[in-house]
Amino acid sequence: MENTKALVLVHSNMNATDITAPVDIILTPEFYTVKRESLPVQYTYQAKRIASSLFNGLLESTEGYEYFVSKDDDKWLFIAYNMEEIKKFLISKNINIEYISKVYFAEQMVESFNVPIVLDDKKALVNLNGTAVVVPLTALKDERTVSTVKKHNRPKSGISIGTSNSFLTTKQSLYLSLFFILFSFMFIIEGSRYGEDSHIIKKEMNLLLEKYPALQSTYTRKNISKKYKNIDQKERKKRNLVKIFSTMIFKGVKLVSLEMDNKKFHVVFACEDASIVKKLKELAQKEKFHVVLPVEKNNLQIEGVL
Amino acid sequence: MNWKRYQNELIAFFAFIFMISSFFYKQHHIHMAKNTLQEEIQSLNDLKELIALKKVWADKKTTKKIEKLKILVPPSKVIWRKEGKKVKASFKNLTATELNKVVSKTLNTAVIIEKFNIELLDKSYNLELKCKW
């Protein structure tokens, strides 16, 4: 999609401009220092690393300077600029920097100034031996001049003016986003695991049903389960009772009789003396058995229902 | 409004929205798990329990196991009547040791005890057993 934003040429003597829509700006050489170098590096990031060292001695102080680097035929184009200074200037010209999308340097589109562009009544921007420079208008004599830059001459890359209105720096935003994304993936993985659990259970269920086809129907399963649970419960109770009765047979105690069917039980113990009867009775009461009056002395009868 | 000015906030905001969406995705699965997964787990556990119960109470080897009761005591002390999957057994004059063996074997076999009567006569025991499987 073609960039249709207005292209504003920014120079030191420009008039205050009221911008109400997003624009791209071109900075004249008054706002930057340029250098072209042939370097044995392949990538822009490598060139960017050494950019500051190239301007040593060329700038009064490299503090506050940022660097724009791009490949220019067989050379590298290095541009040093002070974004804070540029911003201050733009604000002084009533330009709302919120509306500035891209910032280009005149050097990037030097060929557009083959025909000089008049900046004001004293200066013009011109391509001088392959470098964009601001020259006095008088130096141009009778040369043909223009007053605007053509929109389609916009360079491919530029810089952003920076996010002065942002609450977050790029680094903060990056860390925060990474933090959120990390948690997102944790949530997604955790959520998926719940889904997997269901899948595993269904698979296990199907395997069991394949092994026991008679249990395919839920209704059948319920009926069979009810039947066996009843049996299991009752039979366990019977066995447990016998186990308890066996623990009640100790020295001085004899089992006289035990009767047990599906509904009730009745057991009689014979004890040697009253003290053993008392002890046995306590044991029976501890097990919450119903103790009935003995028919014979020193006997203990227990009965109950299942 | 130039959104590019706030691109840092926008990136963080979208990442945040992504995190919130993921959180709801997880919550949705947890909710599903509470409703359906618990039911599925219950069904599976019920089925496993049923299979286990069936293995115990419908064991095809029970007939063989119950037959072993006869050989625990001398044949003269046992009257054995078996009809299909039902047994009526009468053990007479058992010593305490023999009684223990028979009782223990009976209780450890998965049969439905319909009648289980033990009676002390002098120094020996009689045992009436009626069971099915």
Side by side, the strands of the sheet bearing A23-27 are: A6-10, A23-27, A100-105
Is the domain of A11 the same as that of A155? yes
pLDDT at B3 over 70: no
- Residues in chain B with CB shorter than 8 Å from the CB of A98 are 1-2, 5
Residue A10 domain-assigned (yes or no): yes
pLDDT, mean over chain A: 86
- For residues B120 and B71, membership in a common domain is answered with yes
A101 to chain B, minimum CA–CA distance in Å?
A: 7
Are the beta carbons of B30 and A255 separated by less than 8 Å?
A: no
Q: ipTM more than 0.90?
A: no
Of B25, B40, B57, which closes a domain? Answer: B57
Is A178 within a domain?
no
What separation in angstroms does the CA of A192 have from each of A15, A83, A181, B20? 61, 48, 16, 16
Q: Note whether A160 and A239 are same-domain residues.
A: no
B6 interaction partners in chain A (CB closer than 8 Å): 163, 165-166
| A12 belongs to a structural domain | yes
Q: What is the DSSP letter of B77?
A: G
A141 residue type, one letter: K
Predicted local distance difference test score (pLDDT) of residue B8: 85
Say if residue B127 is in the same domain as residue B68. Answer: yes
- CATH number of A282's domain: 3.30.1360.100
**Residue B114 structure tokens:** 């319909």
Does B50 sit within 8 Å of A228, measured CB to CB?
Answer: yes
Angle at B73 between CA B70 and CA B75, to 5 degrees: 65
Write down which residue in A114, A138, A165 finishes a domain.
A165
DSSP state of B76: G
pLDDT computed for residue A76 by the predictor = 92
Q: pLDDT grade, residue A101 (50/70/90)? A: confident
Please report the DSSP string for chain A in residue order: -----EEEEE-TTPPP----S-EEEEE-GGGEEEEEE--S--SHHHHHHHHHHHTBTTBS--TT-EEEEEEETTEEEEEEE-HHHHHHHHHHTT--GGGEEEEEEGGGGGGGGSS-EE-SSSEEEEEETTEEEEEEGGGGTT---BSS--GGG--S--B----TT-SS-HHHHHHHHHHHHHHHHHHHHHHHHHHHHHHHHHHHHHHHHHH-GGG-SHHHHHHHHHHHHHHHHHHHHHHHHHHHHHHT--TTEEEEEEEEESSEEEEEEEESSHHHHHHHHHHHHHTT-EEE--SSTTEEEEEEE-
Q: Are residues A59 and A160 in the same domain?
A: yes
CA distance B75 to chain A (A): 23
Are B112 and A181 inside 8 Å of each other by CB? no
Between A146 and B59, the higher pLDDT residue: B59
Residue of chain A minimizing CA distance to B124: A256
pLDDT at A183: 95
Does residue B86 sit in the same domain as residue B40?
A: no
Q: Which has the closest alpha carbon to A17: A91, A87, A88, A106?
A: A91
Is A202 an interface residue toward B (CB < 8 Å)? Answer: yes
For residues B69-75, average pLDDT: 88
DSSP B39: H
Give the span between the Cα atoms of B58 and B76, in whole angstroms: 31
Set of chain A residues whose Cβ sits within 8 Å of the Cβ of B23: 183-184, 187
Q: Are A262 and A132 within one domain?
A: no
Same domain, B52 and B66: no
Domain boundary among B57, B80, B97: B57
Do A160 and A243 lie in one domain? The reply is no
Residue A59 lies in a domain: yes
Same-domain pairing of B102 and B53? no
Query: Which residues are CB-contacts of A197 (< 8 A; sequence separation ≥ 6)?
Result: B33, B37
pLDDT tens-digit map of B17-39? 999 999 999 998 888 878 887 88
CB-based contact, A188 to chain B, within 8 Å: yes
The pLDDT tens digits for A168-199 are: 788 889 999 999 999 999 999 998 887 777 78
Residues A299, A161, single domain; the answer is: no
Q: With respect to residue A183, please indicate whether it lies within any of the assigned structural domains.
A: no
Question: Which of B57, B78, B96 corresponds to the end of one domain?
Answer: B57
Number of domains in chain B: 2
Out of A139, A165, A191, a domain closes at A165
Residue with tokens 């945040």, as numbered in its chain: B16
Tell me the pLDDT tens digit for each residue of A194-221: 777 778 888 888 998 898 888 888 888 8
Q: Tell me, yes or no, if A160 comes closer than 8 A to chain B by beta carbon.
A: yes
B68-76, long-range: CB < 8 A, 24+ apart: B68/B105, B69/B102, B69/B105, B69/B106, B69/B109, B69/B129, B72/B98, B72/B101, B72/B102, B72/B105, B73/B98, B73/B101, B73/B102
The answer to whether A239 contacts B107, with C-beta atoms less than 8 Å apart, is: yes
Residue A185 covered by a domain: no
Point out the residue among B15, B25, B120 whose CB comes nearest to the CB of A256.
B120
Residue-number span of the structural domain to which A114 is assigned = 6-165
Interchain contact, A257 vs B118, CB within 8 Å: yes
Residue whose token pair is 């009547």: B81
Mean residue pLDDT of chain B comes to 89
Neighboring chain A residues of B28 at a CB cutoff of 8 Å: 191
Task: Establish if A285 belongs to a structural domain.
Answer: yes
The reply to whether A20 and A156 lie within a common domain is yes
pLDDT of residue A179: 95
CA distance B98 to chain A (A): 15
Does A111 lie in the same domain as A241? no
Q: What is the mean pLDDT of residues A286-306?
A: 82
Is the predicted pLDDT of residue B1 greater than 70, yes or no?
no
Looking at the structure, do residues B87 and B119 belong to the same domain, yes or no?
Answer: yes
Report the domain count for chain A.
2
Q: How many cross-chain Cβ pairs, A to B, lie less than 8 Å apart?
A: 171
Same domain for A104 and A241, yes or no, is no
Residue A200 within a domain:
no
Reported confidence tier of residue A17, pLDDT bands at 50, 70, 90: confident
Shared domain check, B66 and B53: no
Specify whether B29 is located in the same domain as B82.
Answer: no
Radius of gyration of chain A (CA): 48
- Amino acid letter for position A230: N
Q: A13 and A154 share a domain? A: yes
Asked if residue B94 and residue B43 are part of one domain, the reply reads no
Q: Are residues A133 and A28 in the same domain?
A: yes
- In angstroms, the first-to-last Cα distance of chain B is 85
Write the residue in B18, B50, B54 that is nearest to A181 by C-beta.
Answer: B18
Q: Are residues A10 and A158 in the same domain?
A: yes
Q: Which of A111, A130, A165 is the last residue of a domain?
A: A165
List own/partner pairs for A161-164 with CB under 8 A and 24 or more apart.
A161/A83, A161/A86, A161/A87, A161/A90, A161/A97, A161/A100, A161/A103, A162/A83, A162/A87, A163/B5, A163/B6, A163/B7, A163/B8, A164/A87, A164/A97
Cα maximum dimension of chain A? 146
pLDDT confidence bin for A296, thresholds 50/70/90:
confident
Q: For B75, which DSSP code?
A: G
User: Which CATH number belongs to the domain containing residue A59 in this structure?
Assistant: 3.30.420
The residue range of the domain holding B79 is: 62-132
The answer, for B39 touching chain A at a CB cutoff of 8 Å, is no
pTM, two decimal places: 0.52
